[in-house]
Amino acid sequence: MSRELFESVSAYMRSHSDYITSTLSRLVKIPSVRSAPAPGAPYGRKCAEALEETRKIYEENGFATEIHQESGYLLARSG
């Protein structure tokens, strides 16, 4: 990584540290450990809850999203 890119990323992270911290906190408070599958939650309900919270974060930031419930993944693309 070039020094210029490193400085740019560091400056961005410093100026957005409150947002980064609060967003990360939203995710880590969900105990998303794989458990028994449930309808629409192939990796368990808490994993599905974490996936839904991730979807919300992406949409808050202008991304279009689609959750594939059967396989338990999120597709995000620029909105």
pTM for the predicted model, two decimal places: 0.83
Helices assigned H by DSSP within the chain: 3-15, 17-28, 45-60
Q: Which sequence spans correspond to the domains of the chain? A: 3-78
Q: pLDDT tens track of the chain, all 79 residues?
A: 799 999 999 999 999 999 999 999 999 999 999 999 999 899 999 999 999 999 999 999 999 999 988 888 899 999 7
What are the beta bridge partners of residue 64? 77
Q: How far apart are CA 33 and CA 56, in angstroms?
A: 20
